[in-house]
Homo-oligomer: A and B are copies of this chain.
């Protein structure tokens, strides 16, 4: 549709003004947004009731309905989230480095917003206040496209937030797309949208990644491993392995495959098998581990590449930390993998060899999360190899520009006979204009 294209182009222009907005204006906009959500509860709950009724009529199921539902308590959470973002330090205009190139010629590397962010998400309407507040504070424009089933709720939330921001910042930088055709238009707008953030199922994220040339920040799978080394402390191994699998198996940072060193298999596997059996975990084993895990079934080749997302685990015995790392690099999703060991050199080898965003030593894979990492607010978890990796906070919405401040300096002075030489001296100085 040409409508959404025009709206995104206008938003792109407005986002350049938003990039130059001051901290005070942005914080006032965030405060107004929090207040407006509080004052607008009735309209939000009414819109959500309509969405819920339509969804139930269409036969939507339990967990999807639960994600779609907005309650007074959830609105409280949204308001608190916006106030948390307002309290974060303004990430725009920070001096990342300063270097004297020559007397009177100083180069600064200054943080700035990426520009225009596209957010395509499934039912959860709390994505709207969360990402909109993060984008506003970081000076980025954003175009949202939510799921069809939440269209009334998203529209109500977005309208309230945008209107509240309008008096303080160029809120034309925020757009809500609503139709299915709009998604195709967004995926095609690689000259306007600088970064796409898909939020939803693995299949959904994979589809987005395969359908656009815009850089995508996210992860399409979470096949995480715990490797119990030959020099593991048995009590730590039991705690970490059990927590990684059982504490919340539906999420991307839960363990799918357990690797065990041959030297530890005989003592460790029967113990963890009993814990797993008690918790109702299905164990799919390679031939070496199977006799050590009562109640297990044989694993197939497919199991090593499967994200179960439930109480199922695959188990494989290896002969060395190198073999474990190679197995993880081949079958994992470069998300989060852990080693349990008391041997520092095994830990060092695992850390340098495993090609994953999060590599943990003697800690549960479940710690891979923006909140637990202390990021305040999470944009998402990325398995990308450029820009941002692992749990991503507001820093993932930033890039930098190089600002060179001179006194009329020209390159001709640094060329040919008698050329001036660059000093290239690092400075401890902030850009102050």
**Interface residues, chain A, with chain B CB atoms under 8 Å away:** 13, 16-17, 19-20, 93, 99, 101, 105, 107, 110, 112, 114-115, 194-195, 209-210, 213, 215, 233, 235-237, 239-240, 242-243, 247-248, 325, 329, 340, 344-345, 347-349, 351-353, 355-364, 366-368, 372-374, 385-387, 389-391, 399-412, 414-415, 422, 424, 431, 433
Residue in A329, A340, A360 with the greatest tally of chain B CB atoms within 10 Å: A360
Point out the residue from B242, B325, B385 that lies within 8 Å of A115, measured CB to CB: B385
| Complexed CA–CA distance, A79 and B166 (Å) | 59
- Verify A239–B363 contact, CB threshold 8 A: no
Closest chain B CB from A148 CB (angstroms): 27
- Verify A195–B385 contact, CB threshold 8 A: yes
- Verify A433–B347 contact, CB threshold 8 A: yes
Complex interface: chain B residues within 8 A of A247 (CB) = 410-412, 415
- Verify B240–A408 contact, CB threshold 8 A: yes
- Verify A351–B412 contact, CB threshold 8 A: no
Which residue of B has the minimal Cβ distance to A400?
A: B389
Given known contacts A344-B433, A348-B433, what 4 new A-B pairs fall within 8 Å (CB)?
A99-B373, A213-B213, A363-B404, A367-B404
Instruction: State the number of copies, please.
Output: 2
Closest chain B CB from A11 CB (angstroms): 14
| Complexed CA–CA distance, A261 and B412 (Å) | 25
- Verify A386–B114 contact, CB threshold 8 A: yes
Complex interface: chain B residues within 8 A of A101 (CB) = 367, 372-374
| Complexed CA–CA distance, A240 and B404 (Å) | 13
Complex interface: chain B residues within 8 A of A242 (CB) = 410
- Smallest CB-CB A-B distances: 9 pairs: A236-B408, A363-B406, A374-B424, A243-B410, A348-B433, A366-B411, A20-B352, A387-B387, A194-B385
| Complexed CA–CA distance, A204 and B235 (Å) | 58
- Verify A364–B410 contact, CB threshold 8 A: yes
Complex interface: chain B residues within 8 A of A364 (CB) = 409-411
Residue in A366, A385, A422 with the greatest tally of chain B CB atoms within 10 Å: A385
Closest chain B CB from A341 CB (angstroms): 11
Point out the residue from B93, B115, B353 that lies within 8 Å of A352, measured CB to CB: B93
Complex interface: chain B residues within 8 A of A348 (CB) = 433
Task: Using A114-B386, A351-B403, A386-B195 as known contacts, say yes or no to A410 and B366 having CB atoms under 8 A apart.
Answer: yes
Closest chain B CB from A243 CB (angstroms): 4
Q: Can you list 14 A-B contacts (CB < 8 A)?
A: A16-B353, A19-B353, A105-B363, A107-B374, A114-B385, A114-B386, A115-B355, A210-B213, A213-B213, A362-B406, A366-B410, A386-B387, A387-B399, A389-B399
| Complexed CA–CA distance, A115 and B385 (Å) | 8
- Verify B386–A402 contact, CB threshold 8 A: no
- Verify A358–B401 contact, CB threshold 8 A: yes
- Verify A386–B399 contact, CB threshold 8 A: yes
- Verify A357–B410 contact, CB threshold 8 A: no
Complex interface: chain B residues within 8 A of A215 (CB) = 215, 386
| Complexed CA–CA distance, A410 and B237 (Å) | 11
Point out the residue from B356, B372, B404, B409 that lies within 8 Å of A401, measured CB to CB: B356
- Verify B236–A329 contact, CB threshold 8 A: no
Closest chain B CB from A371 CB (angstroms): 8
Residue in A235, A242, A243 with the greatest tally of chain B CB atoms within 10 Å: A243
